[in-house]
Structure 1
Amino acid sequence: MRASEKAYTELRRDIVEWRLAPGAVLGEVDQAERLGVSRTPLREALARLVSDGLAVQQRGRGVVVSDVSLEHIDHLFQLRRALEIEAARTAAATGDTGEFTDLAERFTRAAALSGAGNSNDYYQLAADLDGAIDHATGNPYLEQSLRSLRVHLARVRRLAQDDPERLRTSAGEHAQIASAIAARNPELAAAATLLHLHHSLEHIKNHAGTREETT
């Protein structure tokens, strides 16, 4: 792996997982030393983070981790609704019935667990559904847009924390999405996706203040 790619990957992970919080200064000397790379590939990595919207240039401070505000969350979900609803609708028309039936069953089992079980396992299951939907759309432009968006959504999810009851409810919502796609019902898949996104946004907004007060 190239040094710039290594630096970019590690910095992006640290930002998404809140080890580097909003407003943290990404000093070239400090980060290059921490990551074990020279300053030239570090600068390349920082430029990519700025392009991704995960960092910003600030006068007098250099590159800092970008903020996560309620306004940003609204904008992200506006785009998320447009992309994910269209993806679910398309997947319902073209996807593999057996694959989505299996995913629906897995989500139903997860919903029956207290707090949807281990949160990391649950997020992996959600990623499996995302991947299946992406593949079923057959649209590389839509798939790329969703991948870029999910980096920011993963960061926002950390803001809301891992609430066991919300994970359980979310598992049930994902089961409905997968079931609708398996049934080849595009409009039901779109409606189930819209409902899930509505509940997700409300939960994040209700919990965002708690995280901001403790960081």
Structure 2
Amino acid sequence: MTVRVALADDQALVRAGLRALLGQQQVEVAFEAEDGGDLLAKLAAQPVDVVLSDIRMPGVDGIEALVRLRERGDRTPVLLLTTFDDSDLLLRATEAGAQGFLLKDAAPEDLRDAIRRVASGETLLQPVSTDPVRARFRFRDEAPPSDTFSEREVAILRLLAGGYSNKEIARTLFLAEGTVKNYVSTILDKLGTRDRTRAVLKAITLRII
């Protein structure tokens, strides 16, 4: 099945190269955008399966576009392109609800796989667990969880990392909202964290997700 993506990057040559590459991977570029503002305007008129966006763009950057997208209720999966040279940006993007990150020099098959996995509802946040990010949180909390995590708890953690609410998680996993709330409470207890954001960041740091 062909996946339709929106491609956002301020460099026309980069967009052209990605479009050509994606075409070889059975991924259709529905439209291109030169910055976050352009992306938001076009998404309102032309929905896609996945947004593939550079983080750094003039004007409205990839993270701000993601924040605005979620604020208007659009849950389109967002896969951000990064060079991993700024852990602050990665953390901001995680908190804003990015579904994943991809290195700009990723192999074509890795790009295709990441897009398809994100389109199917997975989150690809493992790349956040780079040394700079772990170093930033080392002084805060590296304590291991109080217990192991079930597959269902890991799935819920990944959805939390994607910015999903309890109601959305319940709908995605075919659970009652109250059941999800109980799972989240258990996850917070196991990680020793007091809120969802800290739970996600600690889980990423400890490579649980």
Classify the TM-score, shorter chain.
under 0.3
Higher strand share: 2
Higher gyration radius (CA):
1
Greater relative contact order structure (CA < 8 Å, 6+ sep): 1
Q: TM-score, normalised by structure 1?
A: 0.26
Q: TM-score, normalised by structure 2?
A: 0.27
